[in-house]
Amino acid sequence: MKLKVVSYLDKGEFPLGEEEALALYRAMRRARFFDEKALTLQRQGRLGVYAPFMGQEAAQVGLALALKRTDWVVPSYRESALLLAHGLPIHTLLLYWRAHPAGWRFPEGVRAVNPYIPIATQIPQAVGLALAGRYRGEDWVVATSIGDGGTSEGDFHEGLNFAAVFNAPVVFLVQNNGYAISVPRAKQMRVDYIARRAEGYGIPGVVVDGNDAIAVYLEAKKAVARARKGEGPTLLEALTYRLAPHTTSDDPSRYRTREEEETWRRKDPLLRLRGALEERGLWDGEREKALLDELEEEFARELALADAAPEPRPEEIVEHVYKEMGPDQRRAWEVLRADA
């Protein structure tokens, strides 16, 4: 049976109040602004290798705004928008992408762990964090995200099965952008929708138009509410597209066509939501300019904070791994400190 893809904007539907809709657009625009600035900084040699997310803002921000600040996010490396929308300061994120140890130490009160680079390893750890909350009597929900390619990894299956068996309060977001780096989805799997796999674990699987911010936000809210009520995990698949390269070291023209990219540019999640807001008199060019001025000021202020971070000490690279250092970690720390 074909799964239903949840969407609203293409049907002219707008089941969201003004305040929530504007908050969604503002957070997505802020994320896009960061992404554009980060790419420029990387080309200037002021960031390391960077994984842009342009085109996937609705999926990430829609999930983030469905959470409470007391919930946790366990991201992969492309989830800068998710982290920003969940409260991570811009200067901390910039330092992370500079591989500066100060960027690995997220501030108190920001319930997010560092982005995972090894594919799918975040999935079982997200489940463990969710179960830890239950054992401690907390009511936090854990949201974690992965790409379509990552769902072919063993950790993905083990994590979802474990979460299902123990009814863990987790929302699994799959950002299906159609490519595992350069390998198209059709060469990775035979299923039409990844959410279909949820049935094999005995949990709900939902497919949303991942470039429709309202659809992602509302379905994420349902999944979060379900997890918080003790009804277990949900697999949420957002159909989207990465408008940018896989990383700043990638050339997507080697594996996809310009026509395909142009088709998806017309589905740009920012433009779709902005158009819907403008049709309802909730947004206009003047408000857009005011927002961009505000974002420019904020970014300049945050970049100055990142630039002012002191040069790290060598031993800092092994600090903050665990609350208390183990023997191996301490030995490395002492050697690095002695060599400084």
The residues, any chain, with a CB within 8 Å of residue 241's CB and separated by 6 or more, are 55, 56, 177, 178, 211, 264, 267
- What six digits make up the tokens of 94? 């910039």
**pLDDT, tens digit, 9 for 90 and up, residues 190-222:** 999 999 999 999 999 999 999 999 999 999 999
Q: For every residue of the chain, which 3-state class applies, written as one string?
A: CCCCEECCHHHCCCCCCHHHHHHHHHHHHHHHHHHHHHHHHHHCCCCCCCCCCCCCHHHHHHHHCCCCCCCEEECECCCHHHHHHCCCCHHHHHHHHCCCHHHCCCCCCCCECCCECCCCCHHHHHHHHHHHHHHCCCCCCEEEEEECHHHHCHHHHHHHHHHHHCCCCEEEEEEECCEECCEEHHHCCCCCCHHHHHHHHCCCEEEEECCCHHHHHHHHHHHHHHHHCCCCCEEEEEECCCCCCCCCCCCHHHCCCHHHHHHHHCCCHHHHHHHHHHHCCCCCHHHHHHHHHHHHHHHHHHHHHHHCCCCCCHHHHHCCCCCCCCHHHHHHHHHHHHHC
pTM of the model: 0.96
Given the DSSP bridges, would you call strands 72-74 and 234-239 parallel, antiparallel or unpaired?
unpaired
The one catalytic residue among 91, 242, 272, 274: 242
Query: Domains in the chain, please, with CATH?
Result: 9-309 (3.40.50.970), 315-339 (no CATH)
The whole-angstrom separation of Cα 288 and Cα 294 is: 10
Average pLDDT over residues 42-57: 97
Higher pLDDT, 163 or 323: 163
The predicted structure's pLDDT at residue 155: 97
- Report residue 340's pLDDT band, with 50, 70 and 90 as the boundaries: low
CA-to-CA dists, residue 92 to 80, 165, 236, 315, angstroms? 11, 36, 28, 19
The residues, any chain, with a CB within 8 Å of residue 261's CB and separated by 6 or more, are 243, 252
Residue type, 286: E
- Mean of per-residue pLDDT scores for the chain: 96
**pLDDT, tens digit, 9 for 90 and up, residues 79-129:** 999 999 999 999 999 999 999 999 999 999 999 999 999 999 999 999 999
Query: For this structure, is 157 an active site residue?
Result: no
The one catalytic residue among 29, 246, 272, 274: 246
The predicted structure's pLDDT at residue 323: 82
* Dihedral angle, C-alpha 268, 206, 234, 67, nearest 10 °: 40
**pLDDT, tens digit, 9 for 90 and up, residues 281-291:** 999 999 999 99
Residue type, 29: R
Query: For this structure, is 242 an active site residue?
Result: yes
The predicted structure's pLDDT at residue 47: 96
Average pLDDT over residues 53-62: 98
The predicted structure's pLDDT at residue 322: 83
The one catalytic residue among 43, 255, 313, 331: 255
What percentage of the chain reaches a pLDDT higher than 90? 95
For the beta carbon of residue 222, count every other beta carbon within 10 angstroms: 16
